[in-house]
Amino acid sequence: MPSSNENAAEIRAASETEVHESIDAALADPIATSADARTDTEIEETEQTLLEQLGGFSGLIYSTLPVLVFVPVNTIAGLTVAIWSALGVAAAILVWRLVRRSPIQPAISGFLGVGICAFIAYRMGEAKGFFLFGIYTSLVYAGVFLVSMLVRWPLVGVIWGVLNGHGTEWRTDRRVVRLYDLATTTWVVVFGARYLVQSQLYDTDRTGWLAFARIAMGWPLTAVALAVTVWAVRRAGHLPAHRGAATV
């Protein structure tokens, strides 16, 4: 019968063999290791690209500031002052981005959006009118995304293909179409939920809760839809074309 020392020696020898085999395997397949690292980098780039197209995290946060200013100022100083305050905040954000040389397209869009909201509120003479444009914009977006699925051109796939060089060849792959259907459905749910909740608050004249819903259902829900979109892009193997696509 082998002694305990002999057993310990055999265990150590086996462990050393496994370690050497693992090292040899890693050294023998540097391409696989490099491919994994490249895929992780491209996934991060995908997330950053989508965020940039939405104005980045700062853009999503900046979009809530005019609303945060409008409601309390309206309560304290009235509708006219609230309108000019919201416009002032939107203009300040635009100037701030210009000074920092940040992408200004989201800021310009945000300023125009606040301008439209302010104009509607002014013409209606009611604070809740400030939210009417956003409510019906959500309805339109939900409808467009839904129709794109019904005609078998899921909008997430179309937009991503155009912006990142993948074209429309993905439509021949039913698996990829289903992935983009799922991502597009997520956006339909987000926009549809915004419309249903906020239109109900609008109809019942709950301006304070309407502002809360506008913020709470803004970038947090956008982040959820964005996460699903990134997952679909990754599963479809449609990482940014200029850095090379990786099939998952």
Neighbouring CB atoms inside 10 A of 75's CB total: 12
Mean pLDDT, the chain, whole residue set: 79
From residue 136, give the alpha-carbon distance in Å to each of 26, 51, 131, 235. Answer: 56, 24, 9, 33
Q: Is the pTM of this model over 0.75?
A: no
Tens digits of per-residue pLDDT, 51-101? 555 555 566 667 788 999 999 999 999 999 999 999 999 999 888 888 887
The pLDDT, as a whole number, for residue 241 is 52
- What residues contact 247, with CB distance under 8 A and at least 6 apart? 237
Mean per-residue pLDDT for 210-225? 90
Confidence of residue 246 (pLDDT cuts 50, 70, 90): very low
Q: Which residues of 137-154 are buried (b: 16+ CB within 10 A; e: fewer)?
A: bbbebbeebbebbeeeeb
Gap between the Cα atoms of 223 and 244, Å rounded: 25
Question: Would you state the structure tokens that stand for residue 101, as one six-digit string?
Answer: 């040389």
Mean per-residue pLDDT for 156-185? 88
The pLDDT, as a whole number, for residue 58 is 61
Mean per-residue pLDDT for 22-43? 47
Confidence of residue 18 (pLDDT cuts 50, 70, 90): low
The answer to whether residue 46 scores a pLDDT higher than 80 is no
The pLDDT, as a whole number, for residue 66 is 92
Mean per-residue pLDDT for 117-122? 96
